[in-house]
Amino acid sequence: MNPIVIELTVQLGDGEDAFRLRLPRIAMARTLALFGPSGAGKTTALDLVAGLRRPDSGTVRIGNRVLFDHEQKVDLPPHARRVGYVAQDLALFPHLNVRRNVLYGAQSRRGAPNASERLAQVAELLEIGGLLDRPVGELSGGERQRAALARALMTEPDLLMLDEPLAALDHSLRGRIMPYLEAIRDVIGTPMIYVSHSADEVRRVAEWALVLDRGRVAAAGPPSEVL
């Protein structure tokens, strides 16, 4: 997959208390990390790219695709942005089993004709084949995380965004989930924006990191240099 270029210049609110965020034009080789303290703007940036929050001004672009442009009155709905988003709460449907949760992602592509082949590929990659017929309520934390990743990948996104994907897991589970994230990066090749408070996670999974401070980029570069 070709690198994806992300450009975001937005403002929420007016006056001195306005939230302003500008991500420079960044060519993502595979994985970009957003790093910084709470309130730095990391999750807000993901919500703006996904279309879950609407800026008062500015633009959001992925490559040549304009997702939002205030001046041109462009505002694609979330389902049209081709972005997979795994939020902190995972948001799995408790009344559906794992298979139906994961296939829900394919439905957003209007029943993609290769859904069965895609499911087989994703299930093998994330090792969830044995979980597909289990209720969500019977899953461990790590299994829920893999199911949420699988559902996002079933949309065949141009970009996968992960918001603190390992924050709710203990240290041993984090170490077991990390190889699956690396496989998404290396095997499928889906570009990712990875939000984390963990410098170790960022160093391991990201090729480029932005350190945010109240909506502004405080540092940018390879994780080994900026963290």
Asked if 32 and 210 count as a contact pair (C-beta separation under 8 A), the reply is yes
What is the average pLDDT score of the chain? 84
CB 131 within 8 A of CB 139: yes
Q: How confident is the model at residue 147 (pLDDT cuts 50, 70, 90)?
A: very high
For 208, the enclosing helix (H) or strand (E) is: strand 208-213
Q: What is the C-alpha to C-alpha distance for residues 116 and 68, in angstroms, rounded to an integer?
A: 33
CA distance 106 to 121: 13
Alpha-carbon distance 57 to 40, whole Å? 19
Task: With a cut of 90, say whether residue 72 has pLDDT above it.
Answer: yes
pTM exceeds 0.75: yes
Q: Return the closest-CA partner of residue 197 out of 84, 72, 35.
A: 35
Task: Dump pLDDT digits (tens) for 75-121.
Answer: 999 989 999 999 887 788 989 999 999 998 776 555 455 788 889 98
- Is the pLDDT at 57 greater than 80? The verdict is yes
Other CB atoms within 10 A of residue 3 CB? 12
Both tokens of 193, joined, read 């924006």
What stretch of H or E contains 86?
A: strand 83-86
Q: Which domains does the chain have, with CATH numbers?
A: 4-82+160-226 (3.40.50.300), 96-156 (no CATH)
Q: Residue 203: pLDDT above 70?
A: yes
Q: What percent of the chain has pLDDT over 70?
A: 90
